[in-house]
Structure 1
Amino acid sequence: MMRQYELVERVQKYKPDADVALLNKAYVYAMQKHGRQKRASGDPYISHPLEVAAILTDLHMDESTIAVALLHDTIEDTTATRAEIDAYFGEEIGRLVEGLTKIKKLDLVTRKAQQAENLRKLLIAVADDMRVLLVKLADRLHNMRTLYYMRPDKRRRISEETMEIYAPLAGRMGMQDMREELEELAFQYINPEAYQTIRGKLSDLSGHNEPLVESIENELRDLLVANGVSDARVKGRQKKPYSIFNKMQSKSLSFEQLSDLYGFRIIVDELATCYRVLGLVHTNWRTVPDRFKDYISNPKQNGYQSLHTTIIGPSRQRIELQIRTQRMHEVAENGIAAHTLYKDGRVKSGEVSDDETTVFGWFRKTISALAEGDSPEEFLEHTKLELFQDQVFCFTPKGKLIALPKDATPIDFAYAVHTNIGDTCVGAKINGRMMPLVTRLNNGDEVEIIRSGVQVPPPAWEEIVVTGKARAAIRRATRLAIRKQYSGLGYRILERTFTRAGKTFSRDVLKSALHRLGQHDVEDVIAAVGRNELSSSDVLKAVYPDHKDERVTVKPNTEEGWVSLPSAQELAFRVPESSAPEQDGENAGKGPALLPLRGLSRGAAVRFAPFGAVPGDRIVGIVGEDESITIYPIQSPVLQHFDDEPNRWVDVRWDIDSANEKRFRARLSVNILNEPGTLSEITGAIAMLDVNIRAVQMAVVADDFAQATLDLEVWDLRQLTQTINQLSALGCVATVNRVFE
């Protein structure tokens, strides 16, 4: 474990005049507040903030940032308060620590909304001071390094969050070393089998290829020295397992087909020397077409600069080369942390240099736009779309540079220029030629948008665009167009739900709950209910948080631990009078399994249509004459008999979380060739998708064809859809249809 005196010594090595008193004071305060708290590993909790601070010393951060690292968990996990930290350490450090603190009590309905709101809070704090991001990334890195001590389910959840958000965010900030380590650590928990396989193959190759790598380094170095470039440093390195896995997946290659497992860097002192080295390399070895990129004259938005080229180099090997100066190399490795203002704590606008403002101004602007998202869930989606994709650079006819995610379309380009231009877009010229709006843009394209004053963006555009800004604008326009269409239905659904709960519904009662529902307008809530984007029971819960009927669970009475629905009959259950407790954390999987639904009253008798519904289906309840409720999927043909009786319909929704470990029954009717081996091929395809076959019935309908009825057990609708698609692709299958009651 890192010791306090070791931390101080590390800071003094790169900053001899550091405020040692501040560091010692922060350490003592954190140690007293965390007291006897322990990590999952059994280590004292104070070891974590010390290690986070040590990571930041590798980036040569100023002592204020190191102090924030020592204090970063005090508000969240101890009795410390913002006011107390302000009093002891000043308002600046208090603000940074608060920016790193998760919102403990979020008054929101869904778990996803809570996660999104915490991310929104973090990014808004980052927009105000980038040092918040540096401490957060260091915090995540140390947590990933010690993730082994957590439960397996928690390891996977944290690793997926790291891979989806924090590793790409580090990359977007130019911190490639940190990104690679975060990806490697997450990869080994998300896909341990692939990680171990690739790591083993790389280990086998390492000893074999080491002489070859050294030979290439020497030949490149000799070429440069012979031409008067004696100060260049040449270094080869093996690519990381996740980088290799990603390339194998994206290009559908096997490990043996990869020809560029090693990359080489040439680092020089002067910018002009970069181009001289490039000329020498291209003169002596043949280049691979379309593999040259000049990020020096056209830097990436995060400040990254380098020359990239691929050659058929020494020993006829395909070699990827990066050529850069030492300063460029520091920025490439440490990104935002390589800039002087983040080492010295100079964060006020008047003290930031022009190049640093240019480099990171785009990030603050992007976060400000994201903060205005329509809902927490959309904010989370837009954040991933805006921040975490590879980019292409396009130009307006006047030469303005527009950076867009990879696979962006002219529609994305139009919205990137201005929302009004996107809303009125009807066509586009790419490099002077009229092209479809679905065209994927490439680096260097010049895009001219054709507009019409009567245009309204069609809802189908939402499936075409890839940027969060475009998607949000299209959704907003779509909402305005269809709000009236769904408001009436949503109002009636809410009115019935509130009446059953003994409450009175009106538009006014929704106003106080808008923030809990993640909506900005009462009419948006009503329309969302009408479109089945929001459950009426969730709205009831938001308006009346003390109402106890927001969740109903049906206890199974089978040995399998789940509801069994034989095709010959319906199996009825009585909803328990007292709500069963939530099962999560360490208690997940213990005790009786539950079938969770939302929208039913306690004490109601509930039955399910056989083979009717799996999580992901939209479901409704129909009230019988005996006041019992039968649950149907919305596609069930039986429901047409109740079209004229809307008072019997009950708004019901699944309440299954991502940790669900139970399967649900569904039935498929498959028209197949009547020949040997057909059934084996079908069952094999189903087994490959981790679907359980409960029963099979066969009936010959013609000399060449048979009808197979398959009773399956699946996790959810997505897996069932994959199964249908997989079976449809088989040559022995004519048709596949899902069977409803």
Structure 2
Amino acid sequence: MESDALYQALMNDIAHYITKPESINLITKAYQLAKEKHLGQMRKSGEPYITHPVAVTRILAELEAGPNTLVAALLHDTVEDTDLTLVDIEKIFGKDISQLVDAVTKLNKLIFQDIVQADNQQKMLLAMAKDIRVVLIKLADRMHNMRTLDSMAPEKQLRIAKETLDIYAPIAHRLGLFRWKAELEDRSLRFVDPAMYYKVSNMVKAKKDERESSISHVINYIKELFAESGIKDFDIKGRIKNIYSIYKKMVNGGRAFEDIYDLLAVRIIVDKVETCYQSLGIIHAHFTPIPKRFKDYIAVPKPNMYQSLHTTVLHSDGTLFEVQIRTHEMDKVAEDGIAAHWAYKESKVYSKEKEQFEIASKLKWYADLLKLTEDTDDKQESSQEFVDTIKTDILSANVYVFTPKGEVIELPAGSTPIDFAYRIHTDVGHRMVGAIVNNRIVTLDHTLQTGDVISIKTNKNSSGPSEDWLKIAKSPHARHKIKIFLNKENQDLIIAQGKEALEKEFVLNKKDFELSDQWVKENFEKNNVETVEDLYKEIGKGIISAKAVMNKLMPEATKETLLQRQLERTSRQLVATSDTGVIVEGLTTPQIKLANCCTPVPGDEIVGFVTKGSGIVIHGMHCTNIKEYDQNRLLPALWGINITRKYPTWLKIKGTTRATLLTDVIQAVNSSGVNIAEISAISNSQFESIIKLKVSLSNVNELNSLITNINKVPQVYYVERDIR
């Protein structure tokens, strides 16, 4: 092995942080196996294929990746391109390394067909890996491919370069791998827009000597200023902005090359945070700062952990410079991103679980960054969105499946074809009659796996989802859509029942009326009923009786006769003889109480039920229990007049799980002038909350007005009397 230049170069790269014999032996064994399996295979460049996995491994060594990551990088193409199997790798190197190789192999099979899907594909790439090490291996793999892209055919060069710009460079940015990001972008731009690449490149080179001289002069001047101020432990570096960043500002921002303020930059690295701010004071005291160009990323870090002070200043020779000031630790993070926080250290005892826990712990640190401003250098992605992407997509188990056209669909683990159908479109879900997964017909409760290709069969005559679908669907989105459909179905049934009840009343009175929305509005607007359909709904719910509608429809003479009869019946008892406010005809001192199941209020049509030993219990005609009682024990009952007491009744409210739902409902009740006696709220899913509300009010008109006000709350989509 000593004469093997590739091997020696790799060993030299890792020598400064990996010294344990067992780790070196593991890497050596992997190198020998990879070299043996790739023997005879050549790259398009004409080099032996083994040069590629070694180059990928050396790129990872720059991040001080652990031995297992390096071994997986050496073997990452063996399963796909040689006769080596995952079983073989697990026997020789263990389960952790075989799983890493397996994950990278699966990612290699992904085809990014549509750049419009770039965002979903980025998430898919991260989430499928479930392990940051896999993402790093894949990024290193792409880095070396970009470095050797000249050997590929022009059409492949363009496809790979576009894919790199849209998929891999943004991932490097998300992980804070700025050196990798800049290199991937510059190399990609050379193939995506060669004319602009060389134009910008030549502009940068045109005055290279002049700029380097200017940077050198500024660095020496700052060194003198620091020496005078007693600052000793510091480094100063100069740089010119990468080509792609200049290109973006010229093409997307419409700025001239000369107007790019941060084209030249000086980086000052000091020992501690306090010295950063001291250095900033010195810079601003001796250079002219440009207004609105100061950013404090130390106090408010970027979402990818980047910390630094940024200011743009004007030199006495008229040159603009961006000055970046940070500590040594911040500079390490700026160079290597998140990877800087879990660089392999031989002093630690590593296991897959412990290493992943350490990574997860670092990622959880993002939760403290919710106050951060948007990262304008990327795609306007807020820190919260970035946190959610990392924590949800990398650290949780999601399923990624495909439509027949190759579109990527993300679903929760355990999802079924029902979840997939509703994610495509609500109508697809409602009309679904079957599913085909990977060219095989499956049942609707079939559990989907990452990589499945799914086709949904629909029928426009389908009756829609059933209650059973709620037991099968796993995603909150699908369950929410199904519940809305079922609630509407219930509403349609209530309307049909109300219409049937009114038509029966017409038959009993030997009348035939043609109702109109205008008539309904004129007669029932005080009940918040404005259309014929609304009227049917209220009758179906038992809130308005069919007899009440009939009374409105009957000629005035007939109504007066009916009213006269009612007055004659109750003339002896215009005021109720019990504290319930209820009159039972023919009884002067009856033992009466209101039913707890339906909690009737004045204005409800009511009936009395003679119990055995407990007097008469008054139920609303809308009460479902009435149908179960012995009809011979029911007595006519009516409300008295001049009732001054309040009556309790229950409402059931369904709405979204937004945090303000309960508060908004309470405000709606208070604005109606109604007192709350009792309230409780539960979430029966991630998508729906149910509020049980006991209120105290005077009559059904107050109740109807209250229901109307609650329905105006944006998060509420269903309110009903609660029959307990």
Q: What's the CA shift for 1:484?
A: 6.7
Cα distance change on mapping 1:228 and 1:113 into 2, 3 Å? closer
Q: How far is 1:191 from its partner?
A: 0.7
Corresponding position of 1:48: 52
Q: CA-atom RMSD, angstroms?
A: 4.6
Letter in 1 for 2:233: D
Shift of 1:154: 0.4
Distance in 2 between residues matched to 1:352 and 1:154, nearest whole Å: 36
1:293 aligned partner:
295
Separation in 2 of the partners of 1:22 and 1:155? Answer: 35
Alpha-carbon shift at residue 486 of structure 1 (Å): 6.4
2:11 maps to 8
The 8 Å contact of residues 2 and 50 in structure 1, kept in 2 or not, is answered as no
With over 3 angstroms needed to count, the CA separation of the structure-2 counterparts of 1:68 and 1:289, relative to structure 1, is same
- How far apart, CA to CA, are the structure 1 residues paired with 2:381 and 2:238? 42
The answer to whether the Cα contact below 8 Å between 2:175 and 2:337 also exists between their aligned partners in 1 is yes
Q: Note if contact 1:301-1:359 (Cα within 8 Å) is conserved in structure 2.
A: no
Larger Rg, first or second structure (1 or 2): 2
Distance, in Å, in 1 between the alignment partners of 2:193 and 2:65 is 34
Q: 1:72 aligns with which of 66, 72, 76?
A: 76
1:128-186 CA distance string (max 9 Å, x none)? x3221221111111110001111100011111111111111112111111111111111
Deviation at 1:16, TM superposition (A): 2.8
When residues 511 and 54 of structure 1 are mapped into structure 2, their CA distance, relative to the original with a 3 A threshold, is same
Q: What is the correspondence of 1:64-463 to structure 2 with a 5 Å cutoff?
A: 64-102=68-106, 122-124=125-127, 126-127=129-130, 129-342=131-344, 344=346, 346=350, 350=354, 357=360, 359-361=362-364, 401=371
| Matched residue type, 1:21 | N
Change (3 A) 1:352 1:516: closer
Query: Would the aligned equivalents of 1:75 and 1:82 in 2 still touch at CA under 8 Å?
Result: yes
Q: CA deviation at 1:316?
A: 3.6
Match of 2:671 in 1: none
SS in structure 2 of the partner of residue 319 of structure 1: strand
Return 141-150 or 207-216, whichever deviates more.
207-216
In structure 2, the CA distance between the partners of 1:482 and 1:65, relative to structure 1 (3 Å rule), is: closer
SS in 2 for 1:277: helix
Quote the Cα distance in structure 2 between the aligned partners of 1:214 and 1:37.
Answer: 48
- Quote the Cα distance in structure 1 between the aligned partners of 2:64 and 2:381: 43
How far apart, in 1, do the equivalents of 2:83 and 2:441 lie?
Answer: 41
TM-score (norm 1): 0.50
Structure 2 residue matching 1:100: 3-state secondary structure? helix
Which stretch of the first structure deviates more once superposed, 320-329 or 226-235? 226-235
- Match of residue 40 from structure 2: 36
Q: Is the 8 A contact 1:167 1:183 kept in 2?
A: yes
**118 and 69 in structure 1: CA distance in 2 versus 1, 3 angstrom threshold:** farther
- CA separation in 1, counterparts of 2:377 and 2:273? 32
User: CA offset at residue 479 of structure 1?
Assistant: 8.8
Is the 2:422–2:429 Cα contact (8 Å) retained in structure 1? Answer: no
Residue 319 of structure 1, CA deviation: 1.7
Letter in structure 1 aligned against 2:19: P
The corresponding residue for 2:479 is none
Deviations 1:267-309 (A, max 9, x none): 1112211111112222333322222222222222322111111
Q: Distance in 2 between matches of 1:352 and 1:271?
A: 30
Question: Does the 8 Å contact 2:263/2:322 carry over to 1?
Answer: no
Structure 1 residues 329, 204: closer, same or farther in 2, change over 3 A? same
Per-residue deviation, 1:116: 9.6
Percentage of identical aligned residues: 35
1:152 & 1:93 partners in 2: Cα distance? 35
Matches of 1:506 and 1:50, distance apart in 2: 42
Separation in 1, partners of 2:17, 2:442: 61
Letter of the 1:361 partner, please give it: K
Number of aligned residue pairs: 427
| 1:411 CA displacement | 13
Amino acid at match of 1:247: K
SS of equivalent to 2:317? helix
CA contact (8 A) 1:30 1:46 kept: yes
Matching residue's letter, 2:210: H
- Listed one character per residue, the Cα deviations across residues 344-396 of structure 1 (whole Å, up to 9, x for unaligned) are 58465656898x65542378x9xxxxxxxxxxxxxxxxxxxxxxxxxxx99xx
Gapped runs of 5+ residues in structure 2? 390-409, 412-417, 463-724
Say whether the 8 Å CA contact 1:100–1:122 is kept in structure 2. Answer: no
**CA apart distance, 1:110:** 8.1
Report the Cα distance in structure 2 between the residues aligned to 1:254 and 1:201, rounded to whole angstroms.
11
Q: Is the 8 A contact 2:34 2:74 kept in 1?
A: yes
| Matched AA of 2:291 | P
Q: Which runs of 5+ in 1 are unaligned?
A: 366-392, 395-399, 420-467, 470-475, 499-504, 530-741
Q: Deviations over 1:515-545 (max 9, x none)?
A: 799688957x679x9xxxxxxxxxxxxxxxx
Shift of 1:343: 5.1
CA distance in 2, matches of 1:164, 1:155: 14
The reply to whether residue 26 of structure 1 matches residue 38 of structure 2 is no
- Describe the shift of the 1:481–1:302 C-alpha distance in structure 2 as closer, same or farther (beyond 3 A): closer
Aligned partners of 1:409, 1:36: CA distance in 2, in Å? 44
CA gap 1:33/1:112 in 2 versus in 1, 3 angstroms = farther
Distance 1:270 1:111, change over 3 A: closer
Amino acid at match of 1:60: E
1:57 pairs with 2:27: no
CA separation in 2, counterparts of 1:347 and 1:282?
A: 49
Call closer, same or farther: CA 1:26–1:42 in 2, change over 3 Å. same
Counterpart secondary structure, 1:14? coil
Question: CA 1:190/1:62 → structure 2, altered by over 3 Å: closer, same or farther?
Answer: same
| Aligned mates of 1:507, 1:97 — CA distance in 2 | 32
TM-score calculated relative to the size of structure 2: 0.51
Query: Which residue of the partner structure matches residue 440 of structure 1?
Result: none
What per-residue deviation string (whole Å, max 9, x for no partner) do you get for residues 442-497 of structure 1? Answer: xxxxxxxxxxxxxxxxxxxxxxxxxx99xxxxxx9999699675679x789x99xx
Mapped partners of 1:315, 1:109: distance in 2: 49
1:402–1:416: 8 Å Cα contact kept in structure 2? Answer: no
Given that 2:290 and 2:313 are in contact with CA atoms closer than 8 Å, whether structure 1 keeps it comes out as yes
Equivalent residues of 1:76, 1:102 under 8 A apart: no
Letter in structure 2 aligned against 1:184: D
Are 2:118 and 2:166, in contact at CA under 8 Å, matched by a contact in 1?
no
Residue 61 (structure 1) shift: 2.3
The alpha-carbon deviation at position 112 of structure 1 amounts to 8.6
Give the match's secondary structure for 2:364.
Answer: helix
Offset at residue 318 of structure 1 (A): 2.2
SS in structure 2 opposite 1:401? coil
Q: Which residue of 2 aligns with 1:606?
A: none
| C-alpha deviation, 1:114, in angstroms | 12
Matched position secondary structure for 1:315:
coil
Secondary structure at 2:323 match in 1: strand
Q: Residue 102 of structure 1 aligns to a residue in which SS? A: helix
Partner of residue 625, structure 1: none
1:620-671 Cα distance to aligned partner (Å, 9 max, x none): xxxxxxxxxxxxxxxxxxxxxxxxxxxxxxxxxxxxxxxxxxxxxxxxxxxx
